[in-house]
Structure 1
């Protein structure tokens, strides 16, 4: 093996080349130490083939400078498929599409890698149409709870051969690197774990099936680079801890492997697979250090979301390459940020990407161009003067997109700082990385010459005058919506303990995390994601919280990973009382009256009542396009509405940013064509 050592002449360890290949097998040289992780995306076809959208996505990241571009966990047999549009290596028919991908990746200067996998107990017949199989009949409740069939000894050998056949197809398709998925609670990992392997035959030994797979794959592809992805800690009760995992790995046929790619977690401990923003960057580094004893090049995943974090783990010799998922999903430009110090769009660790995996295509909160069932199309070039009103996520995105397209943009907001409600979210315990998007947006507006006017009150009642005052050729309206009232009457409460919108309350307390201005107790009316975050943050700072909401669960508009830490904390905190499926119907000076599953009751509720209920969408009878046309006639220039309330979407940052991007494209298209002459009948829509 060529030792995985850094070039001492290279100041940036990520820029150093790395040669993989050992025991006399062919070697490959990586142009740097940055590898994309096998992040699932649901961009394939229902029968597991590559698509133009997915190929464009991966090739774009190869062109950005990654050393290795990796497809997602790719199933080796149909009964191991975990997602409706997951890639497969189960049939020769998938090879031509994958060959086109690897040719494009090679042309961009990168190596092509594929991770081969079988879901085992996590695969569900609702997706595969086939019974699921596993080492032992232990269902995976998180995945759907289907009871798997226990594999016979002969069937274990058949499955190992399915891995080998998939590896042969991968080489035929031009892949340089094959990684066996031995972590995250999938089939190989299930054989390694005492939670899921209850067998008494030879495959009851934790290393037996993984070794069978390693040997079969190596024999099938003797000239390829072969490695294994591992979970260094399973993360849940009864699972493998760090020492137990090291013991099992020490019994694997490591001489047949060229590298180990180190991660963590399982389905029952998803917070270890895709970490929350609360966890420190490089969180898995200490778990990885003992793996040096095995003498293999090591890859490392886990919150490596900044050049500084990557330089640290590489420079300290914790690993030889880094596996990047969310960071290069949010922006392929992150690669140049690491290698050359270029600016990049930051991942904010919101985990919308992983939560979308069970719903459809994986999108990104901060990058509206990815995962929307199409190859991203550029915004039409415009040379116009554009006014954007509202500097929340939608307005920031629209202003940047139009400026990139060539427009001269003025961005107005009545607040003293940009960000809108997103700025408040950046101060919450569970979303500490949100400020990175605002910092980047501010930098981008400056770079692109966008004129930012804060503290500017705009009269939206006279669009024509607004357009004339600013000499605007078009207007983006991204002011969001209005929150509904509390829906109950309150008596006996003063200014300090009255009923108020939680967002206004937070805006008046910029020192919240420092403990400034905190009441001893609060009542939060609403159980949406805002309520969850505020309750979690206040409780962590010592405030007693009564949370009442009509929702059946906490934060129903958020995915599981977005609340995987906050919800259990709230439910276990003795300072927090939660009443769901309930309504506040009345409040006096120190109490609230609820109506819920247990009937009517009064609860003590000293301190302020903070209203946090999602923005109500427009009536279904309102036609946003009709409103835009009518406003355009009134203004004499094209007016485009942005924001989730307009498009009748849940009021999330992800939807707001996508809305801002799309509204910019709509306005650019209108400005690139002639403005239609005023049509009198459209005036009626303004009434």
Structure 2
């Protein structure tokens, strides 16, 4: 691999140790509106791993802006910025403060003040009409940027990055979607130029000024287009040292940080379109593969590469590339399961396969050796078992991993078979390589019995049960096949296609339903959970040419996808695929090829054709081995079926408990 990614780069006389930027993002690590000790540890870990530039979470430059509960305020961030700079400086990383104002995309829930905006255009999400900024508010904003920059300089930072990206007041002034002014600021780039001038003056000549600029709002009828973005970038190029072109607007929030349905590197063309405007250019947009980053540097697409989610997944990304072992980098799935932290629940930022991300001050590192190596038997090769085995081996224990299937992966392998979710499976070959590297004994196609475990314990081994989940009984009577979603995907993998899996399921019926008789089968996808499963299975069936109806008690299909940013996009995909969605409804029974559907509010019933049900209901723990011996440690879905994040986190914590020689009653008795 070329060394371009790990090569140092000079920016305004300051040297960054690599060309990798860790960009600003919501973390919910703040203490009130301050940069906290948790922030400091989080950024320092990425600096230790080789990040060249670190931009802290965007701080509001004026008290009128309080976009989410723990959003930093620049006036309160000085001590925290200073601590971040001090923690990162030994590793060479340059630290910049993210600065901005959310404008009409903010929230009045905390500030109890009206939102600011260029014109009286309601935000498309909150539908709130902002207060139109007049000269006093514009002056206050400019003063706020100047004061914030002086605070960053006093804190010893290397510079600042101005946010004129998707969530920003500056974008709103630059856009015809939101700027309908008739005064001087009908020149949509004027406020941006004014802010840049104020910031450069406050920074002085020897500190870095970065600009995160929306260069494509994906709304060409009135919004910023790539030529507009290039013109805006050129207008401030003399003062700006680096430019991060991004895309999206309030009309396309999911486009800013899309999930795994969007291919990595989606902003390459946009980056190339604005390149040459005078500033160093940073490629942003789901760049998670070092080889893609290297290619962008080599072919001149960019001068630096932002790899934020990739470094949440593996803080050592740059160090591993530099060491010549890129295969050891923990892959980023782009699922947004934990990395999308702007959420009313205030979740802490993280990664489903790296439990320490965002918890550097509370979770111990896993690569230290335990004083007394032990023999450990891990039963189950899903995410919990794989991470437990890896952690135990890193800690110096002798590990044997048993999996009853012929391949590792458990529920993760089945999840990756769902339409559009193949990328979630990138973790499996990484875990397999890690187990091989660490000398874990892996036995597949082995059904472990309670007697086997009794014998292992008599020989002094510790036992960890990560046996996964099993389907729950159907909650409705049916005389047609009812196939749980995971078992349907298992058939997809064994039969080779979705249509073959449907045929196999139909053939299991006693009679000759449609599809066997040559008549197109009627498939119902029952989704009482509302996560990615039901929507993904329905998409998968439609893509295979199988007509299906998605039945859900929620007001919208895939209700839980709002947490990953895929809710609107998923419903758009279902609409385009021709999937019929029956909302506010539950499945009561299936008799003679007819499903009885009941409205959850009114109780009104209706009948629809049904030859096959794919049941996406919640699953139950596969706890047979634990029930036989409840003293044994268990983790993951064997405790309670949830997501990959919980499984991996519990697998790691269980491994650390074993290494400490303690009985983990929390994990063995209940979910944690």
TM-score (norm 2): 0.88
| Runs of 5+ consecutive residues of structure 1 not aligned to the other structure | 1-9, 22-26, 633-638, 677-683
SS of 1:356's partner is coil
Q: How does 1:311-460 map to 2 (within 5 A)?
A: 311-342=294-325, 343-358=328-343, 359-360=345-346, 361-372=348-359, 374-378=361-365, 381=370, 382-460=372-450
Q: Aligned pair in 2 of structure 1 residues 398, 145: CA closer, same or farther (>3 Å)?
A: farther
1:34 alignment partner, one of 12, 20, 35: 20
Distance 1:560 1:236 in 2: 24
Deviation at residue 90 of structure 1 after TM alignment: 2.1
Post-superposition shift, 1:372? 4.2
Residues 207 and 251, structure 1, Cα contact 8 Å, conserved in 2: no
Residue by residue over 1:463-512, the C-alpha shift from the partner in whole angstroms, topping out at 9 and shown as x without a partner, is: 534534xx353211111333321122222x4xxxx222221122122177
Residue aligning to 1:181 = 163
Alignment of 1:504-515 (within 5 A): 504-510=487-493
- The answer to whether the 8 A contact 2:383-2:409 is kept is yes
Q: 1:73 aligns with which of 54, 58, 61?
A: 58
Structure 1 Cα separation of the partners of residues 135 and 495 of structure 2: 59
Q: For residues 215-241 of structure 1, what are the alpha-carbon distances to aligned partners after superposition, in whole Å with 9 as ceiling and x for unaligned?
A: 111111113111211122112475524
- Distance in 2 of aligned mates of 1:538 and 1:12: 44
CA contact (8 A) 2:538 2:550 kept: yes
Structure 1, 352-361 or 536-545: larger mean CA deviation: 352-361
Write out per-residue CA displacement over residues 65-86 of structure 1, whole angstroms, 9 at most, x where no aligned residue. 1111221112212222322222
- Summarize deviations over 1:557-610 as a string: whole Å, max 9, x none: 44443534652235413631122332222213432111125711110123x221
Residue aligning to 1:268: 251
Q: Which residue of 1 aligns with 2:212?
A: 229
Does the alignment pair 1:659 with 2:659?
no
State how far apart, in whole Å, the 1-side matches of 2:84 and 2:563 are: 32
Q: Please state if 1:19 is matched with 2:10.
A: yes
Q: Which moved more, 1:326-335 or 1:583-592?
A: 583-592
What are the superposed Cα offsets for residues 230-255 of structure 1, whole Å, 9 maximum, x if unpaired? 12211247552434533651563321
TM-score by length of 1: 0.86
My pick for the range that moved more, 350-359 or 505-514, is: 505-514
Deviation at 1:176? 0.7
Q: Which runs of 5+ in 2 are unaligned?
A: 503-519
Residue in 1 that maps onto 2:605: 600
Check whether the contact 2:26–2:340 (CA below 8 A) recurs between aligned residues. no
Verify: 1:537 aligned to 2:540, yes or no.
yes
Mapped pair 1:285 → 2:268: yes
Number of residue equivalences:
635
Displacement, 1:460? Answer: 4.0
Superposition CA RMSD, Å: 2.8
Q: Distance in 2 between matches of 1:288 and 1:580?
A: 41
Q: Deviations over 1:356-402 (max 9, x none)?
A: 33122112111111224843213582511111111111111111112
Partners of 1:628 and 1:172 in 2: CA distance: 61
Q: For the Cα contact (< 8 Å) 2:161–2:212, is it kept in 1?
A: yes
Q: Say if 2:584 is the partner of 1:581.
A: yes
Contact 2:330–2:430 (Cα < 8 Å) also in 1: yes
SS in structure 2 of the partner of residue 115 of structure 1? strand
Alignment of 1:541-556 (within 5 A): 541-556=544-559
With over 3 angstroms needed to count, the CA separation of the structure-2 counterparts of 1:129 and 1:372, relative to structure 1, is farther
Contact 1:210 1:252 in 2 (8 A): no
- Could you tell me how far apart the structure 2 residues matched to 1:630 and 1:29 are? 59
Q: Deviations over 1:42-74 (max 9, x none)?
A: 11111x222222111111111111111221112
Distance 1:290 1:263 in 2: 12
Could you say which residue in structure 1 is the equivalent of 2:190? Answer: 208
- Distance 1:552-1:397 versus aligned 2 partners, 3 A rule: farther
SS at match of 2:162: strand
1-structure distance, mates of 2:627, 2:66: 44
Q: Secondary structure at the match of 1:377?
A: coil
Using a 3 Å threshold, how does the CA distance of structure 1 residues 400 and 472 change in structure 2: closer, same or farther? farther
Is the 2:58–2:98 Cα contact (8 Å) retained in structure 1?
yes
Q: What whole-Å deviation, never above 9, does each CA across 1:4-43 have from its counterpart, x for those lacking one?
A: xxxxxx943213332223xxxxx22222211111122111
Structure 1 contact 75–89 (Cα < 8 Å) conserved: yes
Q: Which of residues 55, 60, 63 is equivalent to 2:40? A: 55
* TM-aligned CA distance change 1:352 to 1:267, over 3 Å: farther
1:428-461, CA deviations, whole angstroms, 9 ceiling, x for partnerless residues? 2332211211111111111111111111112248
